[in-house]
Structure 1
Amino acid sequence: MPPQLPYPLELVYLSGFYEILGGIGLLVPPVSQAAAWGLIALFIAVFPANINMAVNHIQLEHIPDSPWVQVVRLPFQAVLIAWAWWYTKSYDGQKQASIIPKSLIPKQLELK
């Protein structure tokens, strides 16, 4: 976490909580679009922290201490944003993963 931000540990836990919540939200068709936009915003918001880690070679417990691991994380953010962007489209029961059975999803949420 960049040193300019207050409560760094709390912000890490908060961002992790919202990342998990957003990931679950992608699997719930009625909220998947909102969850996708939230995740895109989150991935953009945490990008400066990833840059800070790579530039200052901040080592985390249980993560290999290699500059390559930190550098690879940076372009991986673009992959995560693209993946979330895919979910910003209307629900398509044939393509989108869901934890809700298709029979329980209202017809008006399905792609025409």
Structure 2
Amino acid sequence: MSWIRNAARGVLGGFLIFAGTAHLTFARDTFHAQVPDWVPLNVDFVVIASGVVEIVLGVSLLLLYRHQVAMGWIVAAFFVAVFPGNISQYVTHTDAFGLDTDTGRLIRLFFQPVLIAWALWCTGAFSALRSKTTTR
């Protein structure tokens, strides 16, 4: 089972690196749709900063094996932190990423918890939490 989790961690790390690179290059304008109007920062700055964070998180998932449980919690927290952008895209009916219907944008919202669970599962964070709660 551990090789499956390691492979899943590698895929997630690669996904984050790809998404972060997209933030900085070919999809930069598209990611502007993810930044809610209420964020008090320059939209392009938010897109660039989140892209850099995604790259760092992806590389960390791949290289910081000894700290994978902590990385799982950090990546999960990042996915929680960016979720308002997905909600904003749905609420404001903003087209981006091929999501040009409210139904498509709504369905996308259900994938964020999957990413959170993926980060916690593939890094062993779920298992570490369970073992701590059962030993108390």
> When the two structures are superposed, what TM-score results if normalisation uses the length of structure 1?
0.67
Question: Greater helix share, 1 or 2?
Answer: 2
CA contact (8 A) 2:90 2:105 kept: yes
The aligned length equals 89
**Structure 1 contact 59–65 (Cα < 8 Å) conserved:** yes
Once the two structures are aligned, what percentage of the paired residues are identical? 37
Quick check: 1:59 aligned with 2:127? no
What is the CA–CA distance in structure 1 between the aligned matches of 2:49 and 2:98, rounded to whole Å?
20
Partner of 2:114: 79
On the 8 A contact 1:26/1:32 being kept in 2, the answer is yes
Q: Residue 11 and residue 78 in structure 1: after superposition, are their counterparts in 2 closer, same or farther (change >3 A)? A: same
Give matches, 1:33-72, under 5 Å: 33-60=69-96, 63-72=98-107
Q: What stretches of structure 2 of length at least 5 have no aligned partner?
A: 1-34, 129-136
Given that 2:79 and 2:112 are in contact with CA atoms closer than 8 Å, whether structure 1 keeps it comes out as yes
The worse-fitting range, judged by mean Cα deviation, of 34-43 and 44-53 is: 34-43
Q: Provide Cα deviations, 1:14-43, integer angstroms capped at 9, x if missing partner.
A: 223222322232222123223222111111
Are 2:37 and 1:3 equivalent residues in the alignment? yes
Distance in 1 (alpha carbons) for counterparts of 2:99 and 2:109: 16
TM-score, normalization: structure 2? Answer: 0.57
The 2-side partners of 1:34 and 1:19 are apart by 16
CA RMSD of aligned residues (A): 1.9
Instruction: Tell which structure's C-alpha radius of gyration is larger.
Output: 1
